[in-house]
Structure 1
């Protein structure tokens, strides 16, 4: 990924020097340049973790709530089979009427093929749906954490779900909305195809609960950034893992597609605070914190991180996105690697390749809408996504893809949000998806 910062700064410095020389007749040489900044420019003190910050909220931490405990017969259960349910209260801004909110703990399969449990929270508005079964929008939030209370089954009850305004728009239209803890109870599925399994089993669980009346409902998928990862991986897993589900479409933006390129970007560093890579460094720390749980034999911190890096990784564990970002930003992983070690190590590289999108055997079998910002500082364009888009386009996926020239990761999402919400709502109503399309840079 190229950066305009260094050329612009160089031109500006040269221009200022020339003007100063002409004005004051300076003949002395310019001062020696300042020494380069060290790669670690995070000057924040050690921050409390979200479990400490949220402990006074009137909702129990899922890590200690017995409702989340797996049953002894888990291995013999089917994917999407319900373990237990409960009715809960939620806080949804912009919906001035009571919602039916049901939480379902269900059996699923993690990225390593092991039986696991996770939860989905299904919200149903008191708006009649006439003419067909009420459709389900599977909404994937950008959870981006490694603690159980980062998950929406906690944050929706506690009133701190960070994408609540987006949910309200879908609920106001009368859709049932399923919000699954698709990264697992403690983040082990983050940026892996395990996310796709959990999303699809969340839809299965919602359809399996007779109290919700959704047994005959079709579904669609929606998410951005970390939620775009869960959405894209569910779309790719659908054909092999849950072909019986009728998925009408997938809208996914800011998608982490090529994990190898994302890793290379996020371990790089430029000097100083005004650079593209610095804010993104936390995403790699978060990925390593979670991958070291799902692939401990490959991502053993002692094998590739310095003692300081191991301490930093330990510090990132157990955090949600807010303090993870503040803890890991401007701390490139490359500054904490043992001599001779890199994320291009064959074993690490193989896992990153396996978990990348766009492989021929995984192409989505539903209409897809994708969008990506060309100035995305977290998931750089084109490296993190264009190989996935190429694979989809050349593989005949029913794709609509657009880039947006908006700087910053979240702003790029907001620029496309109205169109994306309109498109996925049309899919849920059974309307045609429109022609295949690829526009932008």
Structure 2
């Protein structure tokens, strides 16, 4: 994921009209009237699903109560693939590469419609005899870029999955894993767990390619052309959805910008990248004098792991490219240093690589070896 947030489209707060995704027509995704009466992570409903090409699995979807960035109740959904014939398997909560604005791009849909590019990775845990849960961690408004939200939804998804008796996952070892945008959700979940879900027992957190400072990424993007501009624009729209009173980005778009917003409101990653490659912020913003909003900067800091005080308490494996031009190394190193100084059990693997997705591939074997070792109960490696 390129989670650069186009703060260049932000200015002083005024009345905003965010454009939300087209709601999923399936009633399963509709929250009940009594949602606010439920506790975070409490199950709303469960259904079995046809897992299609994911052979050897039984599929379930679980709807649950979660929390948005403003502290208000929302409904979340996660999709669980169970290895057939395995009783009480270990659980991997895998935060996939979503990078999108449309509800059809969430894993509960994109696992089966061809949009989820790392869907094949779901078969690795299944092949090991593990269960895998893939939450729609961007929430019901598909708020791409809202990192704190993603962490809370991730934690609540594991809470919910543990409650579904027919899955048999109440007491099994559980790991959180993800890369890039999924890595951001995963790392945030690990940092939030001691305060947001202190009762939730986790075995490990594994995250790579983490966008740890959204403000730095936004300023690095600026108004110039960038191959990832489509994702940056989508992140700006996603943050506006999550913070409509604080980030009225739509009010700062010109006619072309509003058209592009409408054109991409339900778009997935490949569509956003393709149609963003010939565009930049200068073409879509009404003014260049849009990078000095204290409120915008505050929201970006609130969603940047670099500035979050939380420290994980479970064993955590992180990996990052030293020269990654999409998710910068420096902020992640700073987070690692702070967590290590606080006594967190951190294992950090930097790689001398610049290309973002190459780092994912190179770090993948070490990350999964770490997961396997935690499931076996091996002693922790030397940390920090």
* TM-score, reference length from structure 1: 0.77
| Unaligned stretches of 5+ residues in structure 1 | 1-50, 52-60, 271-277
Whether the aligned pair in 2 keeps the contact of 1:225 and 1:255 (CA below 8 Å) is yes
Deviates more, 1:343-352 or 1:327-336: 327-336
In structure 2, C-alpha distance between the alignment counterparts of 1:218 and 1:365, rounded to whole Å = 15
Q: Tell me how far 1:297 sits from its aligned partner.
A: 2.0
1:3 matched residue in structure 2: none
Whether the aligned pair in 2 keeps the contact of 1:91 and 1:156 (CA below 8 Å) is no
1:24 matched residue in structure 2: none
Whether the aligned pair in 2 keeps the contact of 1:196 and 1:232 (CA below 8 Å) is yes
From the superposition, tell whether residues 320 and 340 of structure 1 become closer, same or farther in structure 2 (CA, over 3 Å): closer
Helix, strand or coil at the partner of 1:85: strand
Structure 2 residue 262 is matched with structure 1 residue 314: yes
Q: Which has the higher contact order (CA 8 A, sep 6+)?
A: 2
Query: Structure 1, residues 40-86: CA drift from partner, whole Å, max 9, x if none?
Result: xxxxxxxxxxx9xxxxxxxxx97111111111111101111111111
2:31 matched residue in structure 1: 70
In structure 1, C-alpha distance between the alignment counterparts of 2:339 and 2:356, rounded to whole Å = 23
- Pairs within 5 Å for 1:86-101: 86-92=47-53, 97-101=55-59
Aligned length: 364
From the superposition, tell whether residues 220 and 343 of structure 1 become closer, same or farther in structure 2 (CA, over 3 Å): farther
1:14 matched residue in structure 2: none
In structure 2, C-alpha distance between the alignment counterparts of 1:91 and 1:253, rounded to whole Å = 29
Structure 2 residue 268 is matched with structure 1 residue 324: no
From the superposition, tell whether residues 398 and 359 of structure 1 become closer, same or farther in structure 2 (CA, over 3 Å): farther
Q: Which of 220, 241, 252 in structure 1 is aligned with 2:196?
A: 241
2:10 matched residue in structure 1: none
In structure 1, C-alpha distance between the alignment counterparts of 2:299 and 2:235, rounded to whole Å = 12
- Pairs within 5 Å for 1:256-267: 256-267=211-222
Whether the aligned pair in 2 keeps the contact of 1:372 and 1:412 (CA below 8 Å) is yes
| Unaligned stretches of 5+ residues in structure 2 | 1-20
In structure 2, C-alpha distance between the alignment counterparts of 1:406 and 1:361, rounded to whole Å = 29
Whether the aligned pair in 2 keeps the contact of 1:120 and 1:180 (CA below 8 Å) is yes
Structure 2 residue 83 is matched with structure 1 residue 125: yes
From the superposition, tell whether residues 339 and 359 of structure 1 become closer, same or farther in structure 2 (CA, over 3 Å): closer
In structure 2, C-alpha distance between the alignment counterparts of 1:92 and 1:213, rounded to whole Å = 23
Whether the aligned pair in 2 keeps the contact of 1:289 and 1:316 (CA below 8 Å) is no
2:104 matched residue in structure 1: 149
Q: Which of 306, 318, 328 in structure 2 is aligned with 1:370?
A: 318
Whether the aligned pair in 1 keeps the contact of 2:51 and 2:58 (CA below 8 Å) is no
Whether the aligned pair in 2 keeps the contact of 1:144 and 1:226 (CA below 8 Å) is yes
- Pairs within 5 Å for 1:150-189: 150-158=105-113, 160-188=115-143
In structure 1, C-alpha distance between the alignment counterparts of 2:68 and 2:259, rounded to whole Å = 27
From the superposition, tell whether residues 135 and 393 of structure 1 become closer, same or farther in structure 2 (CA, over 3 Å): same
2:64 matched residue in structure 1: 106
2:334 matched residue in structure 1: 387
Query: Structure 1, residues 114-147: CA drift from partner, whole Å, max 9, x if none?
Result: 1111211111102535xxx532111000111111
Helix, strand or coil at the partner of 2:352: strand
* TM-score, reference length from structure 2: 0.88
Task: Give the CA RMSD over aligned residues.
Answer: 2.1
In structure 1, C-alpha distance between the alignment counterparts of 2:282 and 2:349, rounded to whole Å = 32
1:115 matched residue in structure 2: 73
Q: Tell me how far 1:153 sits from its aligned partner.
A: 0.6
Q: Tell me how far 1:359 sits from its aligned partner.
A: 3.8
Q: Which of 241, 257, 269 in structure 2 is aligned with 1:293?
A: 241
